[in-house]
Amino acid sequence: PDGGALAEQQEATGARRRRILMLTGGIVAVAVIAGGVATAVVMSGKSDDKPVAGPSSSASTSANQPTLPPLPSFSSVAPPPPANPLDYLNTAAKDKAPLTPDSLFPGKQFVWEGRTYVKTKTDVTAACAKNARKAVATALTANGCQKLIRATFTQGGLAVTVGVAVFPDNTHAKKVAGVSQYLAPLNGGGVADFCHAVRCQMTSNAVGRYAYFAIAGFKNGTTLAANDTVGKQAANDASDFAFTRIVQRGKDAAAADPSRQQ
């Protein structure tokens, strides 16, 4: 046989086979692409016609997911409202804590708005009028004062005596609150004699069954000026301090009340 003719015949046969394979591959590719489009259309149709279901409850509690703690429970009983300290200060029935100079004016000093007052002397008596003068002495006796506690403090060149009078109830204490003439100053502890026959600053007020007073002046016994402000400030500081100490008694009594314990 002619070798050249055989070679040409084999080349022609190979070319036909490649064309057939290319056509077949193209048909398969078109079929695959068409199948993908059809699948996409079918899937798209499913998503439009019917929503995809979410995970089942059994799937949400898989072994790999931690178990959540149970929801907290709450009591249906409401807590009592905050106690009013005055409820424990208006009468002796609830105001039972010991009352002494140390419990009322503890420590060696008090600090008020940055000003330090050093305690020099304290006293206490059931003869209230003995440690008061003029209208205050009369009012203490008339309203049944049970005890009068005094303390003197110094701040710079000033001395101030604060006094707390105890009555059976708040009604009697209020009757004395407006009387400011006047608490007797308490000397001692380096304070020889102050607010004696000279001008001084005085205050008076009441809270609960307590009336409280303050008298302030120069600790060397000289008089305050008519337009004085430092003596007035000392008297107000001591009065405010006494008020906070009395109210603290009411807070302590409320905290210790067994009927309010949870």
Instruction: Extract the tokens encoding 115.
Output: 């000003």
pTM of this structure: 0.69
Task: Decide if 184 contacts 141 (C-beta within 8 A).
Answer: no
Domain membership of residue 1 (yes or no) is yes
Please check whether residues 40 and 91 belong to one and the same domain: no
Beta strand pairing call for 147-155 and 158-166: antiparallel
Residues 234, 214: Cα–Cα separation, whole Å:
9
Tell me the per-residue pLDDT of 36-58, one tens digit each, with 9 for 90 and over: 444 444 444 444 455 545 444 44
Residues 223, 201: Cα–Cα separation, whole Å:
10
**Which residue would you say has higher pLDDT here, 178 or 141?**
141
Cis peptide before 182 (omega within 30 of 0): yes
Angstrom CA distances, 18 to 5, 6, 14, 26, 30, stand at 20, 18, 6, 12, 18
Q: Which of 131, 169, 177 is nearest to 151 (CA)?
A: 131
Q: Which of 15-19, 127-131, 167-171, 219-223 has the lowest mean pLDDT?
A: 15-19
Residue 28 belongs to what domain range?
Answer: 1-45
Domain membership of residue 216 (yes or no) is yes
Please check whether residues 150 and 40 belong to one and the same domain: no
Residues 107, 105: Cα–Cα separation, whole Å:
7
Domain membership of residue 113 (yes or no) is yes
Number of domains in the chain: 2
Tell me the per-residue pLDDT of 178-227, one tens digit each, with 9 for 90 and over: 887 789 999 999 998 999 999 999 999 999 999 999 999 999 999 999 99
Domain membership of residue 69 (yes or no) is no
Please check whether residues 5 and 122 belong to one and the same domain: no
Domain membership of residue 72 (yes or no) is no
β-partners of residue 124 are 149
Task: Decide if 172 contacts 183 (C-beta within 8 A).
Answer: no
Q: What is the dihedral of CA 17, 23, 27, 29, to 10 degrees?
A: 90
Please check whether residues 96 and 177 belong to one and the same domain: yes
Tokens 């008519």 correspond to what residue? 226
Residues 175, 171: Cα–Cα separation, whole Å:
7
Tell me the per-residue pLDDT of 77-126, one tens digit each, with 9 for 90 and over: 666 667 788 899 998 988 999 999 999 999 999 999 999 999 999 999 99
